[in-house]
Amino acid sequence: MDRIIDLRSDTVTMPTDEMRQAIANAKLGDDVFREDPTVNELEEKTAQIMGKEASLLVPSGTMGNLVSILTHCQRGTEILLGDKSHTFYYEAGGISAFGGIHSRQLKNQSDGTIKISDIQSAIRIDNVHFPRTAAITLENTHNLCNGSPLTPEYIRDVAHIAKNNSMKLHIDGARIFNASVALNIDVKDLVMDADSVTFCLSKGLSAPVGSIICGSDKFIYNARRIRKALGGGMRQAGIIAAAGIVSLDKMIDQIGVDHENAQLLADGIANIEGLSVDRGNIKSNILYFDIKKGKTRNKELINQTADRNLYPFDIILNNIYFLETGPSRFRLVTHYGITRKDIQSTLQILGEMLD
């Protein structure tokens, strides 16, 4: 059988052999008692990498965002977030369901930013009718906005507004290392103005499980209790942390390769009659392309997409897996499991998507 080329997400990455070895040999303890040496090492390491006082290991990016926002915001307060943000779209409404936090969605531009003027005018005045605006979250890179990296200048502008209005700034940096590689700057510079950041070990960094929250000592102290309340206190979690340490030591270079591969895919798709891609918009490992209006899908694609209008859903063409994320709009994500040769094979198959 042909090798499966899975471009649905960078979450499908498998742990490397070195991670498996590190997992097997990890020194363990009870992390709820803070006695797991491998978790402690990972938390110290990640705090240092991000230039923050402290870090906390959580099972997932979703829990990282939830714990962070619940730590910053009281029930009945409001948070500003992008209308295409992962937290608004894909995290099951957790901040409202579990935190009683009112979400105010502001329009995301195609580069993942929210207009500064939109942010300013959304902040509530002190009036008994209004919830208090307690926080804002930004996403970097921005998943639904072409994997765009947000610049430190933009983040600083938002941070100023937050500070001047006694609000907290949280960054959903699930792919913050993609942003740092895309912009060729230290990851610290992307988070220095934020009160907290979540990033994922289990996406482009290829660890099997785990995300990290970073912030001040006080923030992490409070976040640890909320993580426990949500059921995210794990015991011998060093088996997760061990792989995460390898991710940080060995996998950051892979991200540059993933970005090159995304560019190659985009260049190839731009040459396929009937498909369109905005090459200028591709800055990291996420790429969206469209079938041009009036073009007919081939039979295999029609069979998979007929009567489907709930997005995203999986597309399988021969041995290539990817997502349809909107009507005639598709997403490809490059990662550690994808080689140069896979890019060529993918382009061949995509060339056959249309009649």
Ligand X SMILES: Cc1ncc(COP(=O)(O)O)c(C=O)c1O
- Residue 26 engages ligand X in binding (rule: CB under 6 A): no
Helix ranges (H only) for the chain are 17-25, 37-50, 61-72, 86-90, 94-99, 116-122, 152-164, 176-183, 187-191, 217-229, 238-250, 252-270, 299-305, 340-350
Total Cβ atoms within 10 A of residue 44 = 12
| x/- track of binding to ligand X for residues 147-186 (CB under 6 A) | -------------------------x-x------------
**From the CB of 302, what's the least distance to ligand X, in Å?**
28
User: Cα–Cα distance between 59 and 212 in angstroms, integer?
Assistant: 8
Identify the H or E element spanning 133.
strand 133-139
Separation in Å, CA 282 to CA 141, 146, 177: 11, 6, 16
CB closer to ligand X out of 113 and 202: 202
211 sits near ligand X (criterion: CB under 6 A): yes
**Rounded-to-integer distance, Cα 98 and Cα 62, Å:** 13
Applying CB under 6 A, which of residues 60, 68, 77, 284 lies at the interface with ligand X? 60
Smallest distance from ligand X to CB 33, Å: 25
Q: Which is nearer to ligand X, 200 or 226 (CB)?
A: 200
Where does this chain touch ligand X (CB under 6 A) — which range of 28-36, 58-66, 255-263, 344-352? 58-66
Residue facing ligand X at closest CB distance: 61
* Residue 271 CB neighbour total at 10 angstroms: 10
For helices 238-250 and 17-25, angle between their N-to-C axes, nearest 10 degrees? 140
Report, in Å, the least distance between residue 167 CB and ligand X. 20
Segment near ligand X (CB under 6 A); pick from 55-63, 184-192, 218-226, 227-235: 55-63
- Residue positions counted in the chain: 355
Secondary structure letter of residue 163 according to DSSP: H
* Sequence-separated (6 or more) residues with CB below 8 Å from residue 260: none
The owner of tokens 């009659």 is 273
- Nearest Cα neighbor of 204 from 152, 256, 281 is 256
Shortest CB 60 distance to ligand X, Å:
3
Does 335 sit near ligand X (CB under 6 A)?
A: no
Binds ligand X (CB under 6 A): choice among 31, 43, 139, 195: 139
Looking at the Cβ atoms of 257 and 333, the one nearer to ligand X is 333
What is the dihedral angle through the alpha carbons of 208, 149, 268, 346, rounded to the nearest 10 degrees?
10
> Could you say which of 62, 108, 133, 346 contacts ligand X (CB under 6 A)?
62
Contact mark string toward ligand X, 234..263, x via CB under 6 A: ------------------------------
Q: Does 102 bind ligand X (CB under 6 A)?
A: no
- Binding residue for ligand X, selected from 134, 200, 226, 277, defined by CB under 6 A: 200
Binder among 143, 146, 148, 206 for ligand X (CB under 6 A): 143
8 Å CB contact between 162 and 122: no
Q: Is 86 in the site for ligand X (CB under 6 A)?
A: yes
Select from 17-25, 60-68, 70-78, 185-193 the region that touches ligand X (CB under 6 A). Answer: 60-68
Interaction site with ligand X (CB under 6 A): 11, 60-62, 86, 139, 143, 172, 174, 200, 202, 211
